[in-house]
Amino acid sequence: MIELIKATAREHLAVDGPNLSLRAVARDIGVVSSAVYRYFTSRDDLLTALILDAYTDLGDAVETAEQAVPRSDFAGRWQTLGRATRNWANANPPEYALLYGSPVPGYTAPPDTVGPASRVVQRLALIMRDAHAAGELAAPPHQRLPRPLRADLTALVALPEFGGTSVAIVARGMTAWTLLFGLISFELFGRLTNGIHDYEAYFEHQWRGIAGFVGLP
Amino acid sequence: MIELIKATAREHLAVDGPNLSLRAVARDIGVVSSAVYRYFTSRDDLLTALILDAYTDLGDAVETAEQAVPRSDFAGRWQTLGRATRNWANANPPEYALLYGSPVPGYTAPPDTVGPASRVVQRLALIMRDAHAAGELAAPPHQRLPRPLRADLTALVALPEFGGTSVAIVARGMTAWTLLFGLISFELFGRLTNGIHDYEAYFEHQWRGIAGFVGLP
DNA sequence: TGTACATCAGTGAACGCGCGTTCACTGATGTAC
DNA sequence: TGTACATCAGTGAACGCGCGTTCACTGATGTAC
């Protein structure tokens, strides 16, 4: 039943956006609206469940795809990670908008979404770390950093998924991470409708381009 | 009066997000809800006016800032363009979300928003074109492109603001454009809350980093 | 200077609809002895 | 095999609220002669 509610709610996301109507979901299932309260304590609770599911689904899809590539094919792993993320987003646009679109007004995601939310970027970091460990990651040029930014980045280098790299590498990894979701958002939110027609080719090219920027072969 | 309605509606955007309530706006102004219909034929019409205003406001801010930099200081113009865009977004988060967040369900922007919507990217292209014309834009490495993508990019190179550059340069310009709004979205939509504390320093560094990628000095 | 008329901003009531959440409840199913 | 009880999914009515849009209207202001 919980699954049925969530599935129906997901369908509604596609039409109404994040202003999910609990009553409409109940109506679709053929149940009275108060019945939903047996399974979710509130509308926000249902929304949170959907968000968590979506993060998990995306994380699984990306990890599965990336894991199928030979470990030492860093460029291949990189490309696969990007492609899997984009594919998931194209297969689940409303979920993507829920996760990476504008925040729902009046709703704040509970702290237990943080973990699942960072699986993609962690995976991305892992590829760079592995390439770095194998000596196949070109070192970015040295750049001066203001002290507070250096502090932030230093803390990130200390994380296990970035461990052993450098502040400059982490910064470029974050550039790529930002670009990844920027590319997908532009595609799904209609920024490319004037100019680009072959979205897939465009994405593949842009994503490959940034691989060079982060130092991958 | 039109201005008063729009100003009040803007305040509501901040609280309720894009689900703007015409009645709430009227209530705030101290007028009966039907009175608004004298000035806007529908809720969507009001929303369109807000979007157009926002694009214009952003475009003005960016152009004014960028124009104040000496024409031959390409890196300075680049940095200023990015900074002005970010500053505007930080000063007007709800408007930014309206323009660059997830699309409002059930609403499609009319075609006359296209022009104002592309002022920032046009400006960005202009800087690259000027730098290229001055011989100060490093040529990106040659990359093979699938035919449909090459066709798309070739059409873009023909636009006046990109005229005289190359397919590879346009592609990198689009990377930067995507990154610009990706960086701002991540900041405003809360993707950086774990890890980055000094948003401004972070942005400045990332944006300068991508300048090198597009070939600027 | 005064009257007649047109313009126009805003009113108020209504239509028909939606929403989240609560609460006491029914009625079927399962369990224990 | 049969009775008594507990569990639990779902009901239905209600609360109090919101919304966009329509329509005939009032009443003030401006204009023409």
Q: Which amino acid is at A85?
A: T
pLDDT top residue among A18 and B216: B216
Q: Residue A21, CB, less than 7 Å from strand C? A: yes
**Category of B190 on φ-ψ map: left (φ > 0), alpha (ψ -120 to 50) or beta:** left
Chain B CB contacts of A114 under 8 Å are 194
Q: What is the pLDDT of residue A104?
A: 83
For the beta carbon of residue A30, count every other beta carbon within 10 angstroms: 8
CA gap B19, B162 in Å, rounded = 37
Q: What is the mean pLDDT of each run of 10 residues along chain B (217 residues)?
A: 91 85 93 93 93 97 98 98 98 95 84 93 97 95 92 95 92 98 97 94 98 95
Chain B CB contacts of A186 under 8 Å are 178, 181
Q: CA of B21 and C1' of D15: distance in angstroms? A: 23
> Which of B:165-184 have CB within 8 Å of A?
171-172, 174-175, 178-179, 181-183
Is the confidence at residue A17, as pLDDT, over 90?
A: no
Q: What is the pLDDT of residue A108?
A: 82
**Helices marked H in chain B — which ranges?**
2-16, 22-29, 43-67, 74-91, 93-100, 114-117, 119-133, 147-157, 167-188, 199-214
Over range A134-159, report the average pLDDT: 94
Is the confidence at residue A200, as pLDDT, over 80?
A: yes
| Chain B residue with Cα closest to A191 | B100
**Helices marked H in A68-133 — which ranges?**
74-91, 93-100, 114-117, 119-133
Q: pLDDT tens-digit profile of A45-92?
A: 999 999 999 999 999 999 999 999 999 999 999 999 999 999 999 999
Residues 103-142 (A) near nucleic chain C, CB < 7 A: none
Q: What is the pLDDT of residue A92?
A: 96
Q: A178 vs B114: CB contact, 8 Å cut-off?
A: no
Say if residue B41 is exposed, middle or buried (CB neighbours under 10 Å; 0-12, 13-18, 19+).
Answer: exposed
Percent of chain A, pLDDT > 70? 100
A109: confidence class by pLDDT, cuts 50, 70, 90 = confident
A106: confidence class by pLDDT, cuts 50, 70, 90 = confident
Q: What is the pLDDT of residue B16?
A: 82
Percent of chain A, pLDDT > 90? 85
Taking the C1' atom of every nucleotide in all shown strands and the CA of A38, the nearest one is D9
Is A111 touching B (CB cutoff 8 A)?
A: no
Chain A CB contacts of B171 under 8 Å are 205-206, 209
Is the confidence at residue A181, as pLDDT, over 80?
A: yes
Q: B202 vs A149: CB contact, 8 Å cut-off?
A: yes
**Category of B180 on φ-ψ map: left (φ > 0), alpha (ψ -120 to 50) or beta:** alpha
Q: Residue A156, CB, less than 7 Å from strand C? A: no
Shortest alpha-carbon distance between residue A183 and chain B (Å): 6
C chain positions with any atom within 7 Å of a protein CB: 9-14, 18-24
Q: What is the pLDDT of residue B53?
A: 96
pLDDT top residue among A39 and A105: A39
DSSP state of A139: P
The residue among A86, A100, A102, A200 with the most chain B CBs within 10 A of its CB, best to mutate, is A102
Structure tokens at B36: 């608004």
Taking the C1' atom of every nucleotide in all shown strands and the CA of A35, the nearest one is D10
Is the confidence at residue A196, as pLDDT, over 90?
A: yes
Taking the C1' atom of every nucleotide in all shown strands and the CA of A19, the nearest one is C19
Is A200 touching B (CB cutoff 8 A)?
A: no
